[in-house]
Chains A and B, each alone.
Chain A
Amino acid sequence: MSDAVATTGLYDCRDAWARTLVDVAAADARIVAVVNDSVGSSKLGAFQKAYPDRLVNVGIAEQVMVGVGAGLANGGCIPFVSAASCFLTGRALEQIKADVAYANFNVKLVGQSSGIAYAELGPTHHSIEDFAWLRPLDRITVIVPADPWEVEQAVRWAAVHEGPVYIRLSRMPVPMLDVPDRVFCVGRAELVRAGSDVAIIGCGTTVHLAVKAADLLEAQGISARVLNMSTLNTLDEEALHAAAATGAIVTVEEACVRGGLGGAVAEFTASHRPVPVERLGFQGFQPTGSLDYLFQINDLTPEGISAAALRALKRAGR
């Protein structure tokens, strides 16, 4: 545990990713890493030191990075292609679609510094559209881990799963979720907190905020259910039925509200069980500001989420 974690109780999920990749690479010689001059930002220094011949750095060239990933899989490797999400999913989207998903190669895409991690650098460096871009792609499993434990589970699962995967990581410091007897299961939402009046569904960096929002609601006598919907494109329909049974839903994501988690949940409720859904996230390109500032002005805070829950309850006539 680093000093920063000891002081703040918060973790940079990239540490869990980097540590776990070294672990799985030790167990399977087929595992290689592919980067676009992103050894440092992907925290792959230890991997490079341990396996210099298994790190492919293509330079600043995302199209060939993803194409090379597909080719490495053809040649019997298991590539983890790691780059900033904004460039990985934006610049190389057609390669992700054609070379990875459609060709169905065993490629693991790892998006770093996703969402608005690069806050002040502006919308060119934000990756808030990646959910909408990758969610409809056939065959790719999209996983958005919420804390270091889930990052480690996702990387371990991806290493042994045969098929394309996108793991979306943040660099925003997050706490470890307090959930007893956790079991990681792709396609299953994690019930972080039981509740019956309203359901708050998050993924990635927003899950711990949803828990705090549930605390605020509890103080007002409202029982909020909190779900960690970390698999984004094979939705846990059983969990969504239970969420809809509360009668009101809030979705909260570090992504654009169009086409992401909120869109996916709204698709489900519209088809199966219409209930009010309040979608929190980003409406579009963000103004200049710090990560905290951008979370604040978009209601990605315990207070903003609890207020959205009250709106959803009001819309539900309660």
Chain B
Amino acid sequence: MSMNDPIPAIQARALWMRRTAFAMVHRAQLGHPGGDFSAIDILAALYFGVMTHDPARPDWADRDRFVMSKGHATGAIYTALCAAGYFPESWLDTYMGNGSLLNGHPNRNYVPGVETNTGPLGHGFPVATGIAMAGKIRGTSYRTFVLTGDGEQQEGSNWEAAMVAAHAKLNRLTLIIDRNRLQQGAGTEETSGLDPLDQKYAAFGWDVAMVDGHDIAALVAVLGADPGDRPRCIIANTVKGKGVSFMEHQAKWHHGVPNDAQYAQAMQELV
């Protein structure tokens, strides 16, 4: 089934995902909320405005696939899958608890809707390349989307995948880069510079588009556009910690966790 919610409904989903993800992180006192918040609008656009999928049939062969290569942003992927109906909301209360199905990095053997296990960076994009390759070999029409962090692009395996996907003309593969310009410890450009990412992917043979990664309507439009003849790279300009004033643009919120006062303030802002 295809979920084509109207834009305001997708925005409402994204708000719910932010509030819920932050509640999970607050409860667990664990997580990566800065990266959750930079990615959540992208996931909301994909799951509720772009992809053809059926939460009742997570192993449906012709489903569109989404691979969460930045696997640490579980607050984003778990709330998206839960909102779509892949698992009950009660699971979220167990986030990272002893024996929980919701590990700190997603496990496809535990959680319906998770396409592959990620966590170590630079893994999801090669796997997504293989998924798109299988679609081409088997003559199916599904699309494959993969989201990496921007710091994650420092892993060399991504550039192996960039070459393979372009060479094989995997036009039904879309790479989205969550370009919040911060990695765990500092800015990407002061750590190991990535710019100009668009020119790099263009030089590797990809279609490249830039988008405001928090503009749901723009995200739905660019992610839902028909495939061309090459794989597509969408650089989503985002804000780490988007939506909470004291978290935005702060590297320390990569895996920072809120105290009670910070949580209360965030809930007042996320409305």
A and B assemble together:
yes
Q: A-side interface residues toward B, CB under 8 Å?
A: 30, 32, 53-54, 56, 58-59, 61, 63-64, 66-77, 79, 94-95, 98-99, 102-105
Q: Please determine whether B122 and A63 come into contact, CB atoms closer than 8 angstroms.
A: yes
Q: Please determine whether B126 and A75 come into contact, CB atoms closer than 8 angstroms.
A: no
Given A71-B127, A74-B131, A77-B138, verify A64-B116 contact (CB < 8 Å): no
Interface segment out of the listed B39-47, B80-88, B159-167, B227-235: B159-167
Q: Can you list 9 contacts pairing A with B, beta carbon distance less than 8 Å?
A: A30-B138, A63-B160, A70-B127, A71-B133, A72-B131, A72-B133, A77-B134, A79-B130, A99-B116
Q: Please determine whether B164 and A71 come into contact, CB atoms closer than 8 angstroms.
A: no
* A230 to B: closest C-beta gap in Å: 28
Q: Please determine whether B134 and A75 come into contact, CB atoms closer than 8 angstroms.
A: yes
Q: Please determine whether A99 and B117 come into contact, CB atoms closer than 8 angstroms.
A: yes
Instruction: Check: B128 CB closer than 8 A to any chain A CB.
Output: yes
A75 to B135, CA, bound (A): 6
Residue of B nearest to A75 (CB): B134
Q: Which B residues are in CB contact (< 8 Å) with A56?
A: 133, 137, 168
Q: Please determine whether A59 and B123 come into contact, CB atoms closer than 8 angstroms.
A: no
Beyond A71-B130, A99-B126, list 8 extra A-B contacts (CB 8 Å).
A58-B160, A61-B164, A67-B123, A67-B129, A95-B126, A95-B157, A98-B118, A104-B109
Instruction: Check: B185 CB closer than 8 A to any chain A CB.
Output: no
Chain B, range 106-123, C-beta contacts under 8 Å to A: 107-109, 115-120, 122-123
Q: Chain B interface secondary structure, helix, strand, loop or mixed?
A: helix
A77 to B133, CA, bound (A): 10
A76 to B65, CA, bound (A): 13
Q: Please determine whether A63 and B137 come into contact, CB atoms closer than 8 angstroms.
A: no
Q: Please determine whether A71 and B61 come into contact, CB atoms closer than 8 angstroms.
A: no
* B143 to A: closest C-beta gap in Å: 12
A61 to B164, CA, bound (A): 9
Residue of B nearest to A102 (CB): B117
Q: Please determine whether B61 and A76 come into contact, CB atoms closer than 8 angstroms.
A: yes
* A102 to B: closest C-beta gap in Å: 5
Instruction: Check: B224 CB closer than 8 A to any chain A CB.
Output: no
A56 to B128, CA, bound (A): 15
Return the CB mask of B25-49 against A: 1 if under 8 Å, else 0: 0000000000000000000000000
Partner of B128, one of A53, A71, A73, A98: A71
A99 to B134, CA, bound (A): 16
Q: Please determine whether A68 and B164 come into contact, CB atoms closer than 8 angstroms.
A: yes
A61 to B128, CA, bound (A): 16
Q: Please determine whether A69 and B130 come into contact, CB atoms closer than 8 angstroms.
A: yes
Q: Please determine whether B108 and A103 come into contact, CB atoms closer than 8 angstroms.
A: yes
Q: Please determine whether B156 and A63 come into contact, CB atoms closer than 8 angstroms.
A: yes
Chain B, range 41-73, C-beta contacts under 8 Å to A: 61, 65
Q: Please determine whether B119 and A75 come into contact, CB atoms closer than 8 angstroms.
A: no
* B106 to A: closest C-beta gap in Å: 10
* A44 to B: closest C-beta gap in Å: 16
* A56 to B: closest C-beta gap in Å: 6
| In the A-B complex, the 5 residue pairs with the closest CB atoms | A71-B130, A75-B134, A67-B126, A68-B130, A64-B160
